[in-house]
Amino acid sequence: MRDRLILLPGWGLGVSPLEPLAAALQGLDEHLQVEIEPLPALASSNLADWLDELDATLPQDAWLGGWSLGGMLASELAARRGERCCGVLTLASNVSFVAHDQWPIAMAGETFDGFLAGCAADPRQTLKRFSLLCAQGCGDPRGLSRLLLGGAPNTAPEVLMAGLELLTLLDTRMALQGFRGPQLHLFAGLDALVPAEAAGELLALLPDVEIGLIEQAGHAFLLEDPHGVAGAIQAFLHESGDD
């Protein structure tokens, strides 16, 4: 088993939400090298620019994973790298964050437009709203929201806007269908940002990959139960890597 896992964070909140999960994974397997890489600080919403940056920065022949936007980017990079990627895992990542005709199980376009307008007017307030939605469905949503917001980096407004604009454009269906390596996709039953029904839709699209639904959990389930998520990931890595 190749023993390097790169994790990419979601939009706006930085690497800190992934740190407990990385620590839990290291605790389960001392041979697994887990690295959290920040998302590119780009003012461009062009996917190719983001993938070029990630491809140049991240080590080859590693497992690629991520939370939300990070998982979507990991999926696209895995497809680009092909056999130079061990496998891909996503946490609370829809194939399209915003609903469209071919993928209606996602956030309504009008709701997302409100995020865009809010971010343009008041990025900090929008991040606060976003952190509350991430924590919704978890056991202590207000406490978890404060934790998420407290660890968020001071990102330039144009970089935050570019990340949101990228989210409106991303559709990872072709990438996931084209990638031949192992895949694990975990969803949350009470997710306020990615509908739980997306898990079933993805299973219909990709019947040969591993897809899990954590029933009583919200978008930030990786921070609420890092040890449970780490156990699922470790089982997947070992099962997929034993060749």
pLDDT-derived band at 242 (thresholds 50, 70, 90) equals: low
**What's the CA gap between 190 and 45, in Å, rounded?**
29
CATH number, residue 170: 3.40.50.1820
Q: Count of domains in the chain? A: 1
Residue 6, CA atoms < 13 Å, CB-side half-sphere:
23
pLDDT given for residue 188 in this prediction: 97
> What is residue 35's three-state secondary structure?
strand
The tokens for 81 are 């790298």
Q: Residue 243: what pLDDT?
A: 47
The answer to whether 2 and 61 are in contact (CB under 8 A) is: yes
**14-73: pLDDT as tens digits:** 999 999 999 999 999 999 999 999 999 999 999 999 999 999 999 999 999 999 999 999
Q: Above pLDDT 90, what percent of the chain?
A: 95
CB atoms within 10 A of CB 120: 13
- Residue 196 above 50 pLDDT? yes
Return the exposure string of 214-223: e unless at least 16 CB atoms fall within 10 Å of the residue's CB, then b.
Answer: beebbbbbbb
CA count, 13 A, side-chain hemisphere, 18? 28
Mean pLDDT for all residues in the chain: 95
The predicted-structure confidence for 95-144, as pLDDT tens digits, reads as follows 999 999 999 999 999 999 999 999 999 999 999 999 999 999 999 999 99
Q: What band does 1 get if pLDDT is binned at 50, 70 and 90?
A: very low
Q: Which residues are catalytic?
A: 68, 191, 219
Domain residues for the domain of 18 are 4-241
Distances from the Cα of 218 to the Cαs of 54, 75, 131, in angstroms?
A: 28, 21, 11
